[in-house]
Amino acid sequence: MYASTRTEFLPSVLRAFALSLAFAVLGMAAGVFVPPALFLPLMILELAMLLGAFFLRRKKAISYTFLYSFTFISGITTYPIIAHYLALIGANAVLMALGTTTVVFSGLAVYATTTKRDLSFLSGILLAALLALIAISIFNIFLPLSSTGMLAFSFIGVLVFSGYVLFDFNRMKRYGVSAEEVPLMALNLYLDFINLFLNILRIFGILGSDD
């Protein structure tokens, strides 16, 4: 009963999530004018904000200003990645990756909010898998993976962030969302979507560059 009364804030989460994507797109557009030397400091700032959000999440202390500032900066730091793949595989393939991401994300969201299953058991599995992905990413900086290795890494990334889409939507549906949790949940959905997109884009990039 209590959870169902709090699902009234689900549309608010989706609106905030859509606005987050809009701010990210604005950030990507702004990224065209950002000097290359500023991308690393912005990435460090983005990481610091993400860590801050992680430690403050139990206090639900994420504001809308924080959310939209973070997604705008995230858009700027994502611009070089998008530009790289535009040059590598072309605009059509990048748009196809975005379309694929949208279809997968939407399908998982619908399933997670309509299923009677409680998917909270995924929490520990997903966290362990995410930490493994982070460890491999750090390893890849010093000892780059082969294209086959990166392809496998990307497919695992798609599975992990697909799992987070299921987990986050299912949790909101079953346990509800309070008004102060809306920005935090929108941030979670944004991170799910953008990481799913980047992994799918990397798969398209690897397969497209092999042609």
Q: Tell me the per-residue pLDDT of 81-124, one tens digit each, with 9 for 90 and over.
A: 999 999 999 999 999 999 999 999 999 999 999 999 999 999 99
Give pLDDT tens digits for 117-156.
999 999 999 999 999 999 999 888 888 889 999 999 999 9
- Report the candidate in 205, 208, 199 with the shortest Cα–Cα distance to residue 104: 199
Read off the DSSP letter of residue 58. G
CA–CA separation, 21 and 140 (whole Å)? 28
- When divided into structural domains, the chain yields a total of 1
pTM for the model stands at 0.91
**Contact present, 13 and 172 (Cβ < 8 Å):** yes
Residues in the chain: 211
Per-residue model confidence (pLDDT) at position 4: 47
The whole domain housing 121 covers 2-209
